[in-house]
Copies of this chain bind each other. A is one copy, B any other.
Amino acid sequence: MRAAKVETGIRREQIAQAALGLIAGQGLKGLSVAAVANQVGLVPSAIYRHFQGKDQVLNAVLDLISMRLQENVAAVRAETQDPLERIHRLLLRHIQLVQVYQAIPRVLFSDEVYSGHPERKAKLYGIIRGYLQKIEEMVKEGQRQGRIRPEVAPETVAVMFLGMVAPSAFLWHLSDGGFNITRNTERAWKVFRAAIQEPPTTMKKKKRVKK
């Protein structure tokens, strides 16, 4: 059966999506152009009408991931003004994201993506840097508003934020869902928030005097 003729712009999206889905299921090892083509309903050679090769398909996958991350950032920005709450919600969204798209940590943490491809390695670094940047901005905003301790470096907080997500997602994935990622994330968030939050200046036993 012959596949319908679809303009290359749409095909590119379909192919990138299919690749992301396959990575989620099979891992990068199982990602062949044949599999991707089959998923889209095409024949392997047809992929080359839309991409120069497998490398470019992987690049498109990276762009897709970058978009998903940035979408989350935009969403929490729209949802609330409170920086701490923004970070909290971004955490929840991120956890949900890696559960739906298991491929994301796989791609992000797999060397297969950038081994022997310096330009792709740089690209990946840029994507993560961009994400961290947004988190840092939230932290700075929180510090300006006096909600986050001024002495913690925004970069540190941002990297620690990743640290709350990555291992949890990884353990969850590795245990085939046995690891309770939701519970763990909730608890980690409490500890994390306590560490970065400027304590309210009320007069309880933890009295903290503004100097």
Residues in A lying within 8 Å of B, measured CB to CB = 26-30, 105-106, 108-112, 114-116, 121, 124-125, 128, 152-153, 155-157, 159-160, 162-168, 170-171, 174-176, 184, 187-188, 191-192, 194-196
Contact = CB atoms under 8 A, between A and B. Distances in A.
6 closest A-B pairs by CB: A163-B163, A27-B115, A27-B111, A109-B109, A195-B195, A162-B167
A191 B111 contact: no
A149 B86 CA distance: 27
Contact of A156 (B106, B116, B191): B191
Contact of A195 (B30, B106, B184, B192): B192
Contacts of A166: 163, 166-167, 170
Main SS class of interface, A: helix
Given A124-B174, A153-B187, 13 more contacts: A26-B115, A26-B116, A29-B111, A30-B115, A109-B170, A128-B171, A128-B174, A152-B187, A159-B171, A160-B191, A160-B192, A163-B163, A192-B195
How many copies of this chain sit in the oligomeric assembly?
A: 2
Nearest to A192: B195
A116 B163 contact: no
Contact of A159 (B106, B167, B174): B167
Contacts of A191: 152, 156-157, 160, 195-196
A184 to B, nearest CB: 6
Contacts of A164: 160, 163
Nearest to A155: B184
Contacts of A153: 187
Contacts of A156: 184, 187-188, 191
A111 B167 contact: no
A105 B124 CA distance: 16
